[in-house]
Amino acid sequence: MAEVCMYCQADDERRLKLMTRIADLKVSTLHFYREQSYPGRCVLVYHKHIQKLTDLTPEEHATFFADVAYAARVLTELYHPDKINYLVLGDLCPHLHIHLVPKYQGGTDWGGIFQMMPEPQKYLTDEKEAEEIQKIRKKLEELSYGF
Ligand SMILES: [Zn+2]
């Protein structure tokens, strides 16, 4: 039986354990990554089940990266990271998505390599996570694609 894609199922339990939906952008959906060792970490998931960046047309590619830049701007204004890692891996789930991982001087893996699930894992309370998501939604409304 073919593996069901966790990004194509609205209520996929694996995805809901990992991340919480924030908002739809033009061609992707922004999710808050529940493990928050890198404060503000999010995942941007392309709406359609596209497997590779090279499967996008130049126009789709440009629109997707406008979503990436918009989301990164929002995270920068809210969390003030010293840099952001952008990861396109797709080893476990071959549906185009980008991990947006804010990094902070003195914080988790500063000057080192990103870890998918660093130890010890750090989760916010449901209440705190909902607050962070509301802050991100508000900032998405404040900013536009032109920033
Ligand atoms: Zn999919």
What are the residue boundaries of the structural domains of the chain, listed by start? 13-111+118-142
Distance of CA 137 from the midpoint of ligand 1 (Å):
24
Query: In which band, very low, low, confident or very high, does the pLDDT at 2 lie, cut at 50, 70 and 90?
Result: low
d(CA 50, CA 56): 8
d(CA 140, CA 147): 10
What are the φ/ψ torsions at residue 99 (nearest 5 degrees)?
-80, 130
Distance of CA 10 from the midpoint of ligand 1 (Å):
10
* pLDDT for residue 10: 84
d(CA 146, CA 101): 22
pTM: 0.95
Distance of CA 49 from the midpoint of ligand 1 (Å):
4
- pLDDT tens readout for residues 89-135: 989 899 999 999 999 999 999 999 999 999 999 999 999 999 999 99
d(CA 10, CA 52): 21
Q: Report the CATH fold assignment for 13-111+118-142.
A: HIT family, subunit A (3.30.428)
Distance of CA 5 from the midpoint of ligand 1 (Å):
5
Tokens of 121: 């894992």
Distance of CA 116 from the midpoint of ligand 1 (Å):
20
